[in-house]
Structure 1
Amino acid sequence: MTARDSLRAHLLKHRLAGPDVPTPRQNNLRHYRLFAQGDPKALMGLEPEPRRDPDAVLRLMAERVGVHPDPRYTEGPDTIDPDLTIAALDRLALLLRRTAARRGSVLAGTGHPTKLAGFHGALARALEAAGCPVHTPARGVRFREPTPDGDRPRYLDVVDRVLVVRALDGPDRPDRPGRPGRPAVGELAHTHSPLPVRLALTALADAGHRPPDLVLGDHGWLCGAGRLGIPAGGVADCNDVAPFAAEADGLVAVVVPLEDGSDPSCYRALSDYVLQRADLAPYNS
């Protein structure tokens, strides 16, 4: 069995791609409508002009993700084409290989810290081992993020060379006291916001660094970097239109269609595959 065949079987077994991924059709269509309506959470920092209507969004996602193309199909399981996933992982590997060849600087961040920090971290550490500076700026910087329940205080932290967002209040308020110069430790927070990457890039500039040569991430990390003209690559689920729209519009280099809410261990095979294809030995901590 080839590496590609083995990966395809892994994607199907863990429902990371295939005909019955965990995100149902009705959820996908709701998010497609929100993107078409310009909902800020769905846009993830983009301001696309002209806007795509819901039918155009569905066509985009059918082409780039492999979801069911018929608008009359409104309920039930939906699809991520595993061959599109693998092809995008190959493109991501090429992006990493080119970055490593020129010893480019890297910034990694995720809006899915409990699921995807390990995937992004494996790529970032391998690039660092190949001589690429990996930046982790703005640790401890606080900001407020709009949520359906109102603005919530957040701050940036670093997990495994990857920037993440932590909560400062509510049921996920900090549960460990801080140390001098360090904030209390709150629960990891899921976010679609582009604000974290903007804060990180501002901190880099304030420290006298030029923008990174590559941003690795998802959600607002991809879209926020891409809108600023910074090369970016990462993953997005079948209900996340914005990264795929940014890729189609030439703002983001590579987006891998992938179920993004599975057990973190499921993504190890994917990072290993990318690093092998990039001629970067998988980094084992």
Structure 2
Amino acid sequence: ERVLFATGHPGGLLDVHRRTADALRRAGCEIVRIPSGLIADEGLVVQFADVAMLERGATLWHTHSPAPMAAILDAMAHRGRPLPGLVVADHGWAGCAGQRGLDAIGYADCNDPALFLGESEGTLQVTVPLDDHVTDPRSYEPMTEYLLHAAGLLEDGDAPVREEAEPAA
């Protein structure tokens, strides 16, 4: 399966997507590389650690826009490259892929109901509920570990390193 990862929450969800991409690659999936030089929403669509995201002025941007995913899919079609068989993303990135008929899995916060509606309508295969903007991105590690374990993709040694709590004074 060809899998494309993308996020509108690079500050929080980048590592969730990166770990999932690593696990799927080990399982034999091809991780899609996006075409270079794509522009959307006045920014550059870039790929870092196997995850597509929006960059403006050397800063990774939070966005709910579907435009970056549309730019990726349009460029792939225009260049004769096969589209992904699965898109794992969030916000407009996942919604755009699902609306285009691609199998899509989305991460969504309960205050952003579009992906939940997409799942209900059959546009998205699965929507994973979460708080998509926690202060410490390491807070997603248990969820990522759980999802990879449930999918049979967690290998020995894959579990995140957990720091021990500081002893009370």
TM-score by length of structure 1 reads 0.52
1:118 corresponds in structure 2 to 15
1:235 corresponds in structure 2 to 107
Distance 1:105 1:266, change over 3 A: same
What do the CA deviations read for 1:204-242 (whole angstroms, capped 9, x no partner)? 223432221110010011110110110111210011011
1:261 corresponds in structure 2 to 133
CA contact (8 A) 1:219 1:243 kept: yes
Q: Provide the C-alpha distance between the structure 1 equivalents of 2:36 and 2:92, rounded to a whole number of angstroms.
A: 18
Alignment of 1:189-228 (within 5 A): 189-228=61-100
What do the CA deviations read for 1:105-145 (whole angstroms, capped 9, x no partner)? 100000001110110111111111111111121333123x2
Name the SS of the counterpart of 2:59 in structure 1. coil
Once the two structures are TM-superposed, the CA of residue 269 in structure 1 deviates from its matched residue by: 1.4
Q: Provide the C-alpha distance between the structure 1 equivalents of 2:22 and 2:74, rounded to a whole number of angstroms.
A: 23
Name the SS of the counterpart of 2:64 in structure 1. coil
Alignment of 1:11-26 (within 5 A): none
1:132 corresponds in structure 2 to 29
2:3 corresponds in structure 1 to 106
Q: Provide the C-alpha distance between the structure 2 equivalents of 1:267 and 1:160, rounded to a whole number of angstroms.
A: 17
Alignment of 1:163-178 (within 5 A): 163-167=52-56, 174=57
Q: Provide the C-alpha distance between the structure 2 equivalents of 1:242 and 1:254, rounded to a whole number of angstroms.
A: 12
Once the two structures are TM-superposed, the CA of residue 203 in structure 1 deviates from its matched residue by: 2.4
Corresponding pairs, count: 157
1:159 paired residue among 48, 66, 71: 48
TM-score by length of structure 2 reads 0.86
Name the SS of the counterpart of 1:209 in structure 2. coil
Q: Provide the C-alpha distance between the structure 2 equivalents of 1:279 and 1:215, rounded to a whole number of angstroms.
A: 19
**AA aligned opposite 1:229:** G
2:153 corresponds in structure 1 to 280
Once the two structures are TM-superposed, the CA of residue 284 in structure 1 deviates from its matched residue by: 7.7
Q: How much identity, in percent, do the aligned residues show?
A: 38
Alignment of 1:59-70 (within 5 A): none
Once the two structures are TM-superposed, the CA of residue 160 in structure 1 deviates from its matched residue by: 1.3
Q: Provide the C-alpha distance between the structure 2 equivalents of 1:210 and 1:142, rounded to a whole number of angstroms.
A: 20
CA contact (8 A) 1:107 1:215 kept: yes
**CA RMSD, Structure 1 to Structure 2 (Å):** 1.7
What do the CA deviations read for 1:135-182 (whole angstroms, capped 9, x no partner)? 121333123x2xxxxxxx201111211001011xxxxxx3xxxxxxxx
Name the SS of the counterpart of 1:188 in structure 2. strand
Q: Provide the C-alpha distance between the structure 2 equivalents of 1:218 and 1:135, rounded to a whole number of angstroms.
A: 17
When you count strand as a share of all residues, which structure comes out higher?
A: 2
Structure 1 residue ranges (4+ consecutive) displaced by more than 3 angstroms after TM superposition? 282-285
What do the CA deviations read for 1:173-197 (whole angstroms, capped 9, x no partner)? x3xxxxxxxxxxx111011111111
When you count helix as a share of all residues, which structure comes out higher?
A: 1
Distance 1:138 1:266, change over 3 A: same
Give the number of the structure with larger relative contact order, counting CA–CA contacts within 8 Å between residues 6 or more apart.
1
CA contact (8 A) 2:39 2:71 kept: no
